[in-house]
Amino acid sequence: MSSHARPGSAPRPATLPHPDAPFDGSAAYGDAAYIDAAYGDGAFGDGGYADTAYGDATYRDAAYEGRVAAPREESGSPRQTRAQARVAARARARRKRLKRTSFLGVGSVAAVAVIAVAGFVNPHHDANPGAQADSSAVPVAGRTGVGDASRSVDRATPAAEVKQLPGLGAAFLAKVPADAQQVLLVTGKGKNQNTGTAVLFTRTAGGGWLPGPTWVARNAKDGWTTDHHAGDLHSPIGVFSLTDAGGLDANPGTKLPYTHSSAFQAPGTGFEGESLADAFDYVVAINYNHVPGTSPLSAERPMGASRGGGIWVHVDHGGPTHGCVALAKADMRALLQALDPSKHPVIVMGDAASLAQ
């Protein structure tokens, strides 16, 4: 085993004092395990002493002797005796142990504090497990039901009653039948546009109107017209009654007469290449050139075939229509379930500018 003694120092004695003997200042103090190759290395002084940097900044750092750095020993200057070096190394090791102990003490106190605080702020913490509540089960005011993901039916707050149907000018207000207690108001964005919104209003006992959800709506490819003809790719502007429904799917619970038939087929694709397969899953006949009280499939045209027909509210297929109004399937289902023939429902439809007249 090698020695860390400097050249010229006294040789290691053959006989050592007892480990418990009082320090007498001699170079042989301590047992062999104290002054062997492990002396002053990582096992003793944390690598700060007796290495090749003996006497450098590692040895005389700010923590040594009151945080005052000792100057590097110059050539020819007197060196510390091994006994003095051992005393200094032991003092430095003691300081490092005290520093580690105090750090662990502070860290333990901090950890206990964090745990204690966490216990108080945890919203689900309760001394009584039976008192904990599942926050996901708390109902939200104004919502239509737990887990209702409909983009338009799920409303945060109930709608406020309005005195008059919004956006309608005097001419259109006059066309709304006095006995109509339900009005599906479809408002297009522009005369030549094919998108808009739809809202089902219900008349209140006081004569006002309570709006339902706002639904995204589509209309004919080239917009709106007051003089609709077959194949002109415009939706008719006006006020029309809603009396009959049907579809490829079974009745979802509407009170309107409902024709469930496989004849509700829409072959081919739409104007944007979209499939039309689901377009007629649900339909409500708009009584434009349609005989009220007959199936939406009826071919009878009171104004003549040239004025077109088969104008429905049906399921949105992802593109503009030939003349109909289209809503998302979930919204169509909600509309069918809400419409009540005893309330004489009508549809008021057109672009915003036309309806405001």
Q: What is the mean pLDDT of residues 9-25?
A: 44
DSSP string across 12-26: PPSS---TTSPP-S-
Mean pLDDT of the chain: 74
Q: What's the rounded Cα separation, in Å, for the pair 347 and 198? A: 10
Average pLDDT over residues 281-296: 98
CB 181 within 8 A of CB 203: yes
Q: In this prediction, what percent of the chain has a pLDDT beyond 90?
A: 54
Residue 69 clears pLDDT 90, i.e. is over it: no
Question: What pLDDT is recorded for position 277?
Answer: 94
Binned at pLDDT 50, 70 and 90, residue 95 comes out as: confident
pLDDT band at residue 345, thresholds of 50, 70 and 90?
very high
Over residues 154-168, mean pLDDT:
79
Strand partners, 314: 283, 326
Comparison of pLDDT for 214 and 8, the residue scoring more = 214
Residue-wise pLDDT for 101-137, tens only, equals 554 444 444 443 433 333 333 333 333 333 333 333 3
Evaluate if residue 216 carries a pLDDT over 90. Answer: yes
DSSP designation for 38: T
| DSSP of 277-335 | TTTTSSEEEE-SSS-TTS-TT----TT-GGG----EEEE--SS-BSS-EEE-HHHHHHH
Comparing 70-74, 153-157, 197-201, 256-260, which segment has the lowest mean pLDDT? 70-74
Token pair, residue 37, equals 């190759």
| Pure H helices in 122-187 | 170-175
Compute the average pLDDT of residues 196-212.
Answer: 96
Say whether 33 sits in a helix, a strand or coil. helix
pLDDT tens digits, one per residue of 309-333: 999 999 999 999 999 999 999 999 9
pTM here? 0.58
For the chain, percent of residues with pLDDT exceeding 70: 60
User: What pLDDT does residue 99 have?
Assistant: 61
Task: Decide the pairing of beta strands 209-218 and 195-203.
Answer: antiparallel
| pLDDT tens per residue across span 251-262 | 999 999 999 999
Judge whether 314 and 270 are in contact, CB under 8 Å.
Answer: no
Q: Which stretch of 103-112, 135-144, 337-346 has the lowest confidence by average pLDDT?
A: 135-144
The pLDDT of residue 86? 74
Between 226 and 9, the higher pLDDT residue: 226
Q: Which of 24, 26, 221 is nearest to 12 (CA)?
A: 26
- What are the CA-CA distances from residue 10 to residues 15, 74, 88 (Å)? 14, 21, 19
